[in-house]
Amino acid sequence: MNLEDVVKVTTGSLTARDRVGLQDFVLLEAYTSESAFLENLRKRFHENLIYTYIGTLLVSVNPYKELGIYTKKQMDIYMGVNLFELPPHIYALADNVYRTMLTESNNHFILISGESGAGKTEASKKILQFYAVSCPSTKLMDNVRDRLLLSNPVLEAFGNAKTLKNDNSSRFGKYMDIQFDHVGGAVGGHILSYLLEKSRVVHQNHGERNFHIFYQLVEGGEEDLLRWLGLQRNCQQYSYLVQGECAKVSSINDKTDWKTVRKALTVIEFSESNVESLFAIIASVLHLGNVKFIADSREDRNIYTNGQSQLLLLGIPTQVIQVGLTHRKIAARSEEVLSPFTIDHAVYARDALAKAIYGRTFTWLVNMLNESLANKDSSRKTVIGLLDIYGFEVFNVNSFEQFCINYCNEKLQQLFIQLTLKSEQEEYEMEGIEWEPVPYFNNKIICDLVEEKFKGIIAVLDEECLRPGEATDMTFLEKLEEKMAGHPHFITHKLADQKTRKTLERGDFRLLHYAGEVTYCVDHVLTIFHLQVMRQSKNAIVQLCFPTTEPDSKKRPETVATQFKSSLVGLTEILMSKEPWYVRCIKPNEGKQPGSFDDVLVRHQVKYLGLMEHLRVRRAGFAYRRRYQIFLQRYKPLCPDTWPNWKGTAAEGVQCLVKHLGFKPDEYKMGRTKIFIRHPRTLFATEDAFEVCKHELATRIQAKYKGYRVKGHYMRQREAATTIETCWRGLKARRERQKRAWAVKVIKKFIKGFMTRNQPVSVDNSEYLDYVRQNYLTRLKESLPKTVLDQNTWLTPPPIMKEVSRLRMYLNSGAHVVLHLQIKGLTSSLFKGRKENYPHSVSRPFVDTRIIISFHAFPQYSVPVVKYDRNGFRPRFRQLIYTGTAAYLVEEAKIKQRVQFNQLKGVSVSNLSDNFFILHIQSEDIKQKGDLVLQCDHIFEALTKLCLVANKENCINVVQGSIKFDIQPGREGFVDFKSGQETMIYRAKNGSNHLVLYGINCT
């Protein structure tokens, strides 16, 4: 974006209404015409545009109505935006001051000036509120912020009053420092007050009031408090409150304000006792005002007092007060004598005392506020000062205070001239910049008229006050006319008559008016005696305000004018060390009316505020200048030739930079050491471009840095990976080596085993032989001959496996053996692991038959058995014969019972070592015999044969516990099998005729 674009964008964001008139008087064509100036101000005022710039100076016209332009949203809009990018606003100025302070780390002040009621105090509050919202915030800072904000209502209660011009007129000058830490957080504050209008305590003009706090206390104070203070809730009771005849004003709510002040005092951490002492003083001042003096004819007294008893609040004995209020101490020869007052003197002295008490209490209050705002941290701070100072004014009759105020304004004008006009022109000269000098009125001559040593008005006043004898306004005036007669800016009514009719200019002192009350100009009416009386007070604040350490010097104290002069010198010093910013407040009409613009009144203020002069200098001059080095240092990123470093001189660098930025020749000038830029907008455009570029640069630097960081991280990771890899490889290599070593050992052993395979088994060959054996058996398993009789397909066994050869030989020995083995195999499948005495039977060869017998059918197998009777379970020796179709029970060739195989339901045996078996026979006929309970020494052989002959391989059940059987069809019996030492067969003792138990030994 080049500069022009930036300007376009920023002006583009304005609405039509915002563009009414000119936002900046610098752009005014007829910049020397007061009328054109007024015209612009009026036009904008009628559109409720109360703010207009003259360069960086802000002109503000009091709208006398709420405009809704001080919201949080507005604050946000103005935060961090350049002055000329948005419509003029007090927030824009505040924000620019703040940001300049932060970027340049220097101190600033904002001078707010204008007539009473022009909106100065409001402006300063707006600025403070803006900072309260926009500054970074922490708990501590919030605390400071609250105190800064709340110090205002307290100060206003004690220092502001209703005047004819302003219902909330500040009756003191105020300079407030806000301190910021290096990141811009508000961390502290300090208040300086100037010349409180103390005379208001004892006297108010018609339509004006005393300081707010008196009314707030009387109207808002709690019942208990008022009772304790001896006050009545009625302002009319107090002579100090009624002179203006307007104790009640519609625009002021004393009750609410009282609450605000009480709360503020708490937040600012005034102790309860301090608050009590404070209000005791305020009440005492009211009581003091009510003290009456009455003529007394008695000896050594002229007068006596009435109503002083309430002053006990101050903790001074009544007697002391009584004497104090009616006498003064004078030195007569070597001793001090009390001399009685006249009534007039006494009243005067009473008022002087009231003023002194109130004035000193106000000073104490400011000190307390400062204590509470003080930042104890000693680290470097930058400050923004807010100067809310009373405006220059000329009345028909001007009080002494107005004289001081006008003097103050002259001093500030002088400062302004020094800071802007004079130094500016001098600088152009020094820098060799071509420049048409702007004629301006240097008011130094006026300041000298007032403050010059021995010759100035203040010096004459001091002299007049301090000289012995009666000093009056007239004697003072005569002195002045005598001494100042020739001065071009000094005029009195008398002198005015002699001179040509000269119109008054700003700064001319029309002294007659100021000289109204010379006697008020000196404080010394507060006699030493008064001081001594006050020092007896028990009130903590009074004790601080009237310290015993204060010298009761015989020397007269400094006059108020001199004190004021010194305080102004102090203020000037404070301000000279800071960068100035200005807010000029203008009052549009005398009636506090919204929407009314009084041309004459405004023209008058424009003139006294020096706005035209300011504009002329702004137009002629350059808004901005910076040393080449600093300018180049800041903006060098904007040009590729100057970034990152410029090789030549700074001036050449700036020239190159400026050319690159496209500055027009009339927009800037190159001085000896500095560049001068005519319009602020050129600078702001540059600043904006820098702002954009800064982010780009930051991004680049950030990217580089991030890259650097990530690379570092990557390198570390890579290193770590390499380390892990190395360790892992080492581990793997070691494992591999172990494995190889093991393999070598195994192979060696194998070879050795092979070589010794035919030797007897030893450590050398045992493993090898195992292997050979295993290997052979595995192979054999996969290629077993189809039948045992197959001779040819046997694998040749290795020499060590002679057993196999033997097995083969055995197998080869005959078919009947094979058959026998097959039958044995069947037996095994029926009983192995199920019946306990099966293993004994394995080695006993089966025979074809046990008994040679002649039988009507061909007997397949026969064996002797014992049959147990069904009724008495008596044993009977029988032969069991199997034919192709049935089993027979025979006794000596006589068939006792025939069991068709197809009637055989099954055979039960126990799992124990007995030789019993039960043939379960299927039968429906009740007359038929039941199941057969038999015992046979060749039980495995007999049962296996039965399976084969009857072709019932699944008929045998091996049973645990009891076997149930049919004694007769439908009649059940049991055989119980139990383990024991010997074989015993007996009938159960408890059993009935048909329930039978047998115990079987299992040896």
Ligand X SMILES: Nc1ncnc2c1ncn2[C@@H]1O[C@H](COP(=O)(O)OP(=O)(O)O)[C@@H](O)[C@H]1O
Q: Which positions lie near Mg ion, rule CB under 5 A?
A: 120-121, 170
* Nearest residue to 261 via CA among 151, 425, 128, 347: 151
Residue closer to ligand X by CB (options 161, 575) is 161
Catalytic residue among 62, 107, 160, 170: 170
Distance between CA atoms of 879 and 896, rounded to whole angstroms? 10
User: Least distance (Å) from ligand X to the CB of residue 111?
Assistant: 13
Residue closer to Mg ion by CB (options 401, 462) is 401
Q: Number of residues in contact with ligand X, rule: CB under 6 A? A: 19
Q: Which two tokens stand for residue 452?
A: 């010059």
Task: Please choose, out of 114-122, 730-738, 779-787, 976-984, the segment that lies near ligand X by the rule CB under 6 A.
Answer: 114-122
Which position among 10, 23, 52, 62 is part of the footprint of ligand X (CB under 6 A)? 62
Task: Please choose, out of 40-48, 167-175, 183-191, 797-805, the segment that lies near ligand X by the rule CB under 6 A.
Answer: 167-175
Residue closer to ligand X by CB (options 389, 963) is 389
104 as an active site residue: the answer is no
Residue 144 Cα distances to 97, 102, 139, 179, 262, angstroms: 20, 19, 9, 10, 18
Which position among 11, 38, 39, 64 is part of the footprint of ligand X (CB under 6 A)? 64
Q: At what angle do helices 400-416 and 560-576 cross, to 10 degrees?
A: 20
Contact partner, 924, from Mg ion, ligand X, none, Cβ < 5-8 Å per class: none
Contact partner, 118, from Mg ion, ligand X, none, Cβ < 5-8 Å per class: ligand X
Distance between CA atoms of 903 and 891, rounded to whole angstroms? 21
Report helix, strand or coil for 520: helix
Catalytic residue among 82, 116, 284, 567: 116
DSSP 408-473: HHHHHHHHHIIIIIIHHHHHHHHHT----PPP---THHHHHHHH-TTTSHHHHHHHHHHSSS---H
Known binding residue 883? Answer is no
Q: Which two tokens stand for residue 214?
A: 């008196």
Catalytic residue among 39, 276, 393, 836: 393
Which position among 96, 152, 169, 277 is part of the footprint of ligand X (CB under 6 A)? 169
Which position among 52, 82, 129, 166 is part of the footprint of ligand X (CB under 6 A)? 166
User: Least distance (Å) from ligand X to the CB of residue 467?
Assistant: 37
Residue 483 Cα distances to 461, 476, 514, angstroms: 12, 11, 16
Phi, then psi, of 505 in degrees rounded to 5: -105, 165
User: Least distance (Å) from ligand X to the CB of residue 121?
Assistant: 3
Q: Which two tokens stand for residue 290?
A: 């009510």
Residue closer to ligand X by CB (options 293, 416) is 416
578 within 8 A of 107, measured Cβ to Cβ: yes
Burial of 756 (C-beta count, 10 Å sphere; 0-12/13-18/19+): middle
User: Least distance (Å) from ligand X to the CB of residue 267?
Assistant: 23
Residue closer to ligand X by CB (options 346, 405) is 405
Q: Which two tokens stand for residue 156?
A: 């206003």
396 as an active site residue: the answer is no
First vs last C-alpha separation in the chain: 115
User: Least distance (Å) from ligand X to the CB of residue 307?
Assistant: 35
- Give the contacts of 50 (CB within 8 A, at least 6 positions apart): 44, 60, 61, 62, 63, 67
Residue closer to ligand X by CB (options 118, 325) is 118
Task: Please choose, out of 166-174, 701-709, 746-754, 809-817, the segment that lies near ligand X by the rule CB under 6 A.
Answer: 166-174
177 has which bridge partners? 190, 385
| Residue closest to ligand X, measured at CB | 119
519 as an active site residue: the answer is no
121 as an active site residue: the answer is yes
- Give the contacts of 886 (CB within 8 A, at least 6 positions apart): 898, 899, 900, 901
Distance between CA atoms of 986 and 998, rounded to whole angstroms? 5
Contact partner, 168, from ligand X, Mg ion, none, Cβ < 5-8 Å per class: ligand X
166 as an active site residue: the answer is yes
Catalytic residue among 52, 166, 420, 642: 166
Residues in the chain, total: 1003
Residue closer to ligand X by CB (options 115, 667) is 115
627 has which bridge partners? 674
User: Least distance (Å) from Mg ion to the CB of residue 124?
Assistant: 8
Burial of 807 (C-beta count, 10 Å sphere; 0-12/13-18/19+): middle
* 588 is an interface residue for ligand X by CB under 6 A: no
Contact partner, 216, from Mg ion, ligand X, none, Cβ < 5-8 Å per class: none
* 170 is an interface residue for ligand X by CB under 6 A: yes
Contact partner, 427, from ligand X, Mg ion, none, Cβ < 5-8 Å per class: none
Known binding residue 121? Answer is yes
Contact partner, 359, from Mg ion, ligand X, none, Cβ < 5-8 Å per class: none
966 has which bridge partners? 972
391 as an active site residue: the answer is yes
Helix, strand, coil percentages in the chain from 3-state DSSP, rounded to 5: 50, 15, 35
Residue 883 Cα distances to 262, 859, 864, 877, 897, angstroms: 132, 5, 15, 20, 13
Known binding residue 117? Answer is yes
Known binding residue 116? Answer is yes
Q: Which of residues 116-155 bind ligand X (CB under 6 A)?
A: 116-122
User: Least distance (Å) from ligand X to the CB of residue 520?
Assistant: 23
Q: How many CB atoms lie within 10 A of CB 896?
A: 15
444 within 8 A of 414, measured Cβ to Cβ: yes
Residue closer to Mg ion by CB (options 383, 585) is 585
Greatest pairwise CA separation for the chain in angstroms: 191
Task: Please choose, out of 56-64, 452-460, 669-677, 972-980, the segment that lies near ligand X by the rule CB under 6 A.
Answer: 56-64
User: Least distance (Å) from Mg ion to the CB of residue 165?
Assistant: 10
User: Least distance (Å) from ligand X to the CB of residue 166?
Assistant: 4
Contact partner, 355, from Mg ion, ligand X, none, Cβ < 5-8 Å per class: none
Known binding residue 118? Answer is yes
* 532 is an interface residue for ligand X by CB under 6 A: no
Residue closer to ligand X by CB (options 53, 676) is 53
User: Least distance (Å) from ligand X to the CB of residue 180?
Assistant: 24
Contact partner, 119, from ligand X, Mg ion, none, Cβ < 5-8 Å per class: ligand X
* Nearest residue to 420 via CA among 846, 796, 22, 111: 111
Contact partner, 134, from ligand X, Mg ion, none, Cβ < 5-8 Å per class: none
Distance between CA atoms of 907 and 897, rounded to whole angstroms? 16
* Nearest residue to 387 via CA among 109, 646, 758: 109
Catalytic residue among 134, 169, 406, 559: 169
Task: Please choose, out of 65-73, 461-469, 701-709, 896-904, the segment that lies near ligand X by the rule CB under 6 A.
Answer: 65-73
Phi, then psi, of 295 in degrees rounded to 5: -60, 140
155 within 8 A of 373, measured Cβ to Cβ: no
Catalytic residue among 391, 753, 930, 973: 391
Catalytic residue among 10, 113, 121, 443: 121
Known binding residue 119? Answer is yes
Contact partner, 122, from Mg ion, ligand X, none, Cβ < 5-8 Å per class: ligand X
116 as an active site residue: the answer is yes
170 as an active site residue: the answer is yes
* 605 is an interface residue for ligand X by CB under 6 A: no
Residue closer to ligand X by CB (options 296, 393) is 393
User: Least distance (Å) from Mg ion to the CB of residue 53?
Assistant: 23
527 within 8 A of 304, measured Cβ to Cβ: no
Binding-site residues from annotation: 114-121
Residues that bind ligand X (CB under 6 A): 62-67, 114, 116-122, 166, 168-170, 585
Binding-site residues from annotation for ATP: 114-121
Q: Among all residues, which ones are annotated catalytic?
A: 116-117, 121, 166, 169-170, 391, 393
